[in-house]
């Protein structure tokens, strides 16, 4: 018999969904069959599978070790598996790595990712340029992996918990955009952040430097189309129904905070979160972001490169949370991490 004691990242989930996490190789038909036969019970009683779990509930699995191994049971220790070698080999894939995902990469990025806010459910980080928010390829090490390594190092997360729940970033930034990234440490935090961003309850503000003397205030509403092959988007004022790659409507507000020598410092609020929305919008309006190699001005970028500026000057600077936000410490709060565009001067 194996017992699962429901933790904070499992409380609020349905029993069947939770069992799918623990028995990741098991078809749902097998899980429901075991529930019907009382080989899996909730708090020592027969369960249907649709029960919503509460903290410290007990889920007992009266299954053989061989069955547990074949079903990829997440809490088995590899050392305890004494069945035949081919079963052990099949199980290895389901065993999470102990400790760090990549300690060397974690240490390398320690000075390029800083912690801006943390509580028991949420982690808010500020990343530097040239760091992925999430993996693009299997071997990548992104902010997501760094956050998990940080939580493992600080014992906010155990390798056992990691087998059934993985903290995750909830908003993505382009590799060469610096700034604030939110991470759900717990299921509650992940749901609150993801919902707040999707429903636009969390307001997102950016800072950037562009070429051109822009108006004090201006906005852009339009439609965005994406060329998947070249990973580049196009802004159109009028929707073209027959054009492939339609991503939806966009809405962005701009506020000029400073104008000097042909450059402008802008505060940008995005009301939709589409690929390259800010970069493509400003290029469309004739105010390309300094250092943006995809949508920017090549002459300006060459001049900046001579000054040692190799990245686009775009930074996710501020997040504003609603007063009724689900995470107590973030209710009505502004989280700010000011931009540091090293090498650029308005003089």
Give residue-wise pLDDT tens across range 93-144. 333 344 678 889 999 999 999 999 999 999 999 999 999 999 988 889 999 9
343 pLDDT tier (thresholds 50, 70, 90) = confident
| pLDDT for 75 beyond 80 | no
| SS3 state at 313 | coil
| SS3 state at 318 | strand
| pLDDT for 201 beyond 50 | yes
- Other C-beta atoms closer than 10 Å to the C-beta of 324 total 8
Q: 48 and 70 in contact (C-beta within 8 Å)? A: no
Give the tens place of pLDDT for each residue, 221-248: 999 998 888 889 999 888 766 577 888 8
pLDDT at site 164: 82
Span 234-263, mean pLDDT?
86
Q: 168 and 144 in contact (C-beta within 8 Å)? A: yes
Q: Which residue has the higher pLDDT, 338 or 158?
A: 338
User: Which spans in the chain are helix H?
Assistant: 15-22, 28-36, 65-70, 85-92, 103-109, 143-153, 159-162, 187-198, 277-285, 298-306
Q: 294 and 276 in contact (C-beta within 8 Å)? A: yes
3-state helix, strand, coil in the chain (%, to 5): 25, 30, 45
The Cα 48–Cα 14 span in angstroms is: 10
pLDDT at site 91: 36
Average pLDDT along the chain: 88
What pTM was computed for the model?
A: 0.80
Closest by CA to 179, choosing from 7, 295, 336, 69, is 336
Span 317-329, mean pLDDT?
97
The encoded tokens of residue 307 equal: 């000054």
Closest by CA to 81, choosing from 96, 65, 95, 58, is 65
Q: What percent of the chain has pLDDT over 90?
A: 67
Give the tens place of pLDDT for each residue, 41-50: 999 999 999 9
| pLDDT for 156 beyond 70 | yes
| Angle, CA of 208, 284 and 315, to the nearest 5° | 15
pLDDT at site 89: 41
| pLDDT for 165 beyond 90 | no
């Amino acid at each position: 018999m194996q017992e699962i004691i429901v933790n904070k990242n499992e409380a609020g989930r349905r029993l069947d969904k939770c069992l799918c996490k623990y028995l990741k190789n098991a078809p749902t038909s097998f899980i429901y069959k075991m529930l019907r036969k009382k080989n899996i019970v909730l708090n020592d009683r027969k369960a249907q599978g649709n029960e919503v779990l509460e903290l410290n509930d007990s889920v007992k699995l009266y299954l053989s070790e061989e069955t547990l191994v074949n079903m990829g049971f997440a809490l088995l220790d590899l050392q305890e598996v004494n069945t035949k070698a081919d079963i052990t080999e099949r199980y290895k894939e389901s065993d999470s790595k102990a400790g760090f995902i990549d300690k060397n990469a974690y240490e390398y990025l320690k000075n390029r990712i800083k912690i801006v806010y943390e509580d028991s459910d949420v982690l808010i980080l500020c990343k530097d340029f040239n760091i992925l928010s999430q993996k693009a390829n299997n071997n990548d090490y992104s902010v997501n992996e760094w956050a998990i390594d940080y939580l493992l190092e600080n014992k906010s997360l155990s390798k056992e918990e990691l087998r059934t729940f993985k903290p995750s970033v909830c908003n993505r930034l382009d590799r060469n955009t610096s700034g604030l990234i939110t991470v759900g440490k717990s299921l509650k935090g992940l749901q609150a952040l993801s919902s707040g961003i999707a429903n636009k309850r969390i307001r997102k503000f950016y800072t950037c430097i562009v070429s051109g003397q822009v108006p004090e205030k201006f906005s852009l509403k339009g439609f965005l189309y994406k060329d998947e092959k070249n990973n580049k988007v196009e802004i159109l004022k009028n929707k073209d129904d027959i054009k492939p790659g339609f991503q939806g409507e966009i809405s962005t507000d701009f506020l000029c905070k400073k104008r000097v020598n042909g450059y402008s410092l802008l505060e940008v609020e995005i009301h939709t979160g589409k690929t390259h929305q800010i970069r493509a919008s400003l290029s469309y309006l004739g105010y390309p972001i300094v250092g943006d190699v995809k949508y920017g001005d090549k002459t300006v970028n060459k001049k900046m490169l001579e000054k040692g500026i190799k990245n686009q000057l775009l930074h996710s600077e501020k997040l504003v949370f609603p007063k009724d936000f689900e995470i107590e410490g973030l209710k009505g709060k502004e989280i700010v991490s000011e931009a540091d565009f090293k090498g650029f001067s308005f003089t």
